[in-house]
Amino acid sequence: MHAYLARRLLGSVVTIWIIVSASFLIIRLAPGDPAQIWLGDYATPDLLQVTRARMGLDRPLPVQYLTYLGSVMRGDLGESLRSRKPVAGEIRDQLPYSLDLMVTSTLLSVAIGLTAGVIAAVKRNSMVDVLAMSVALFFLSIPAFWLGLLLFILFSAHLEWFPLIGAGNRASPANLAYHLVLPTLALGSRIGAVVARMTRSSVIEALSEDFVRPARAKGLSEPRVWVRHALRNAATPILSIVGIQVNALMGGSAVVEAVFSRPGVGNLLIVAISTRDYPMVQGAIFLIAVGVVLVNLLTDVAYGLADPRIRYA
Amino acid sequence: MRRTTVLVVLTALLLAAGLWSGASAQQAGRSNTLRFVLSQNLVTLDPANLGFAADRVVAQNVFSGLVTFKPGTAEVIPDLATRYEVSPDGKTYTFYLRKGVKFHKGYGELTSRDVKFTIERYKDRTQSRLVADYAPVERVETPDPYTAVFRLRTPFAPLLSTLGWQSGFIMSEKAVRELGRAITTNPVGTGPYVFESYAPGNEVVLGANRDYYGGGPRIEKVVLKIIPEEMVGILALQRGEVDMMPLRTVGAWKLLKSSPRFQVIEVPGIWMDYVMFNVTRPPLSDVRVRRALAHAVDWKAMEEFYSGLAELNPSFQPKTVFGWTKDVPTYPTDLNKARALLAEAGHAGGLALEIQSRKELMFDQLAVLVKDWWAKAGVQGTILITDAAGELAKINPPARNYQVHVQGLSRLDPDHYYAPFLRSDSTTNYMGYAGADDLIDAQRTAPDAKTRRQVLLQLQRKIAEDLPVISLGTRKSLVVARQGVAGITAISYAGVVIFRTAHFAGN
Amino acid sequence: MIRRLLRNRSAVVGMALLSIPMLAAALTPVLTTANPYTTNMTRQLTPPGRQHPFGTDQFGRDVYSRVLWGSRTSLAVAAASLLLALTSGTLMGAAAGYFGGMVDDSLNRVIDLLMAFPMMMLAIIAVGVLGAGLLNVIVALGVSMLPRFARVVRGEVLAIKARHFVEAARAVGAGEGRILWRHILPNSFNPLIVMATVYMPYTILVESSLSFLGIGVSPDVPTWGLIIADGRGFIQLAPWISTFPGIAITVTSMGFNLFGDGLRDALDPRLKI
Say yes or no: B175 and B196 in one domain: no
- Is residue C193 within 8 Å of A110, Cβ to Cβ? no
Domain annotation covers residue B185: no
Q: What local confidence, expressed as pLDDT, does residue B456 receive?
A: 97
| Residue A123 backbone dihedrals phi, psi, to 5 degrees | -100, 50
For residue range B29-76, list pLDDT tens digits in order: 446 999 999 988 898 999 998 877 789 999 999 999 999 988 888 888
pLDDT (tens digit, 9 = 90+) per residue, B307-340? 899 999 999 999 999 999 999 999 999 999 999 9
Rounded to an integer, what distance in angstroms lies between the CA atom of residue A283 and that of residue B450? 55
pLDDT given at position B29: 41
Note the CATH number of domain C2-28+63-271: 1.10.3720.10
Which residues of chain C have a CB within 8 Å of the CB of A273? 124-125, 128
H-type alpha helices, B377-429: 388-395, 415-422
Does the structure show a pLDDT above 60 at C34? yes
Residues of C in contact with B373 (CB under 8 A): 39
Smallest CA–CA separation between B185 and chain A, in Å? 9
- What is the 3-class SS of B423-462, one letter each residue? CCCCCCCCCCCCCCHHHHHHHHCCCCHHHHHHHHHHHHHH
Contacts of A82 in chain B (CB under 8 A): 43-44
Residue B301 contacts C, CB cutoff 8 Å: yes
* DSSP secondary structure letter of residue A156: I
- One-letter-per-residue 3-state SS of B141-201: EEEECCEEEEEECCCCCCHHHHHHHHCCECCCHHHHHHHHHHHHCCCCCCCCEEEEEEECC
Q: Does A203 touch chain C (CB under 8 A)?
A: no
Residue B186 lies in a domain: no
* Residue B463 and residue B496 share a domain: no
Q: Chain B residue closest to C213 (CA)?
A: B359
How far apart are alpha carbons B271 and B357 in whole angstroms?
A: 17
Q: What gap in Å lies between CA B244 and CA B232, rounded to an integer?
A: 13
pLDDT value of position B482: 93
Residue from the list B4, B227, B238 with its beta carbon closest to the beta carbon of A261: B227
Contact A56, B416 (CB under 8 A): no
Among residues B423, B425, B420, B455, which one has the least CA distance to residue B437? B423
How far, CA to CA in Å, does B367 sit from each of B385, B390, C70?
Answer: 10, 17, 20
Q: Tell me, what's the pLDDT at B30?
A: 46
pLDDT digits over B247-290, tens only?
988 888 888 888 899 999 999 999 999 999 999 999 999 999 99
> Which amino acid belongs to residue C163?
R
pLDDT of residue B25: 41
For residue range B138-169, what is the model confidence (pLDDT) as tens digits? 999 999 999 999 999 999 989 998 898 767 89
Helix %, strand %, coil % for chain B, to 5? 35, 25, 40
Q: What is the mean pLDDT of residues C36-55?
A: 91
Mean residue pLDDT of chain B comes to: 89
Q: What is the average per-residue pLDDT within B96-105?
A: 95
Identify the bridge partners of residue B93 per DSSP, sorted by sequence position: B86, B150
pLDDT attached to residue A68: 92
Single out the residue of C127, C194, C188, C121 nearest to residue C154, CA to CA: C188
Interface of B with A in 166-185 (CB under 8 A): 181, 184-185
pLDDT score for C94 = 85
Render B271-293 in DSSP notation, one character per residue. Answer: EEEEEEE-TTSTTTTSHHHHHHH
| B235 and B167 housed in the same domain | no
Distance of alpha carbon A89 from alpha carbon B326, whole angstroms: 51
Q: Which of C39, C218, C236 sits opposite B255 (nearest CB)?
A: C236
Chain C contacts to A (CB-CB under 8 A): 109, 112-113, 116-125, 128-129, 131, 201, 205, 208-209, 212-213, 215, 225, 228, 232, 235, 239, 242, 246, 249-251, 253-254, 257-258, 272
CA-to-CA separations, B156 to A100, B163, B166, B441, B491, in angstroms, rounded: 55, 12, 14, 10, 25
Q: How many CB atoms lie within 10 A of CB B141?
A: 13
Cβ distance A288 to C213 less than 8 Å, yes or no, reads: no
Task: Answer positive or negative: Cα dihedral of B354, A33, B429, B474.
Answer: positive
Q: What pLDDT does B345 receive?
A: 95
Whether the ω angle into residue B332 lies within 30 degrees of 0, i.e. cis, is: no
Q: Do C37 and B255 touch (CB under 8 A)?
A: no
Q: Are the Cβ atoms of A22 and C113 closer than 8 angstroms?
A: yes
Same domain, B257 and B275: no
In chain C, what percentage of residues exceed pLDDT 70? 94
Low-confidence ranges of chain A (pLDDT < 70): 1, 209-230, 303-304, 306-313
Domain membership of residue B223 (yes or no) is yes
Q: Does A31 sit within 8 Å of B390, measured CB to CB?
A: yes
B167 and B275 part of one domain: no
Q: Is B229 on the interface with C (CB under 8 A)?
A: yes
Domain limit, last residue, from B128, B158, B179: B179
Distance from the A26 Cα atom to the nearest Cα atom in chain B, whole angstroms: 14
B113-120 average pLDDT score? 96
Question: Do B284 and B331 belong to one domain?
Answer: yes
Give yes or no: residues B256 and B276 share one domain: no
pLDDT class of C165 with cuts at 50, 70, 90:
low
pLDDT at B430 over 50: yes
Residue A281, Cα to own-chain centre: how many angstroms? 17
Whether residue A140 and residue C212 make contact (CB cut-off 8 A), yes or no, is no
Query: Quick one: how far is CA A241 from the chain centroid?
Result: 13
Closest alpha carbon within chain A to B127: A51
Residue finishing a domain among B130, B150, B179: B179
CB contact under 8 A, B383 and C220: yes
Eight-class DSSP state of B109: B
Asked if A137's CB is within 8 angstroms of C258's CB, the reply is: yes
Chain A residues lying within 8 Å of C117, measured CB to CB: 251, 285, 288-289, 292
Residue type, position B297, single letter: V
pLDDT digit string (tens) for C172-202? 776 767 777 777 777 777 778 888 888 888 8
C26 CB-near residues (< 8 Å, 6+ apart): none
- Pick from A254-258, A274-278, B375-379, C19-23: least confident: A254-258
Q: Are residues B205 and B305 in the same domain?
A: no
CB-count burial class (<10 Å; 0-12, 13-18, 19+) for C3: exposed
Most confident range (mean pLDDT) of A19-33, B257-271, B463-477, C257-271 is B463-477
pLDDT value at residue A296: 76
Does one domain contain both B165 and B244?
no
Nearest CA in chain A to B426: A44
pLDDT in the model for residue A230: 67
Work out the minimum CA distance from B383 to partner chain C, whole angstroms: 6
Domain extent at residue B76: 64-179
The percent helix, strand, coil of chain C (3-state, each to 5) is 75, 0, 25
Burial B371-389 (b: 16+ CB within 10 A, else e): bbbbbebbbebbbbbbbbb
Query: Where a domain ends, among B179, B203, B218?
Result: B179
- Distance between CA atoms of B58 and B35, rounded to whole angstroms? 13
Same domain, B7 and B86: no
**Do residues B118 and B106 lie in contact, with contact meaning Cβ atoms separated by under 8 Å?**
no
Q: 3-state class of B323 per DSSP?
A: coil
Q: Mean of the pLDDT values across residues B106-134?
A: 93
**Position B353 pLDDT exceeds 90:** yes
One domain, residues B69 and B55: no
Asked whether the predicted pLDDT for residue C31 surpasses 70, the reply is: yes
Q: What percent of chain B has pLDDT over 90?
A: 67
Q: Which of A34, A97, A274 sits opposite B387 (nearest CB)?
A: A274
Least confident of A46-50, B24-28, B288-292, B404-408: B24-28
- Provide the mean pLDDT of chain C: 84
Q: What is the CATH number of the domain that holds B277?
A: 3.10.105.10
Q: Is B197 on the interface with A (CB under 8 A)?
A: no
Chain B partners within 8 Å of A44 (Cβ): 131-132, 427
Same domain, B466 and B489: no
User: In this complex, which of A45, A162, A175 lies closest to B21 when CB atoms are compared?
Assistant: A175
- Chain B residue with minimum CA distance to C236: B255
C125/A273 CB distance under 8 A: yes
Q: In chain A, which residues have their Cβ closer than 8 Å to the Cβ of B35?
A: none
Q: Which residues of B touch A174 (CB under 8 A)?
A: 14, 17-18, 20-22
What Rg value do the Cα atoms of chain C yield, rounded? Answer: 22
Least confident of B186-200, B414-428, C123-137: C123-137
What is the C-alpha to C-alpha distance for residues B384 and C217, in angstroms, rounded to an integer? 9
**Any CB–CB contact under 8 A between B258 and chain A?**
no
> Quick one: average pLDDT of C53-78?
92
Contacts of C235 in chain B (CB under 8 A): 231
pTM reported for the whole predicted model: 0.87
Q: Cα separation of C93 and A224, whole Å? A: 43
The count of domains in chain B is: 3
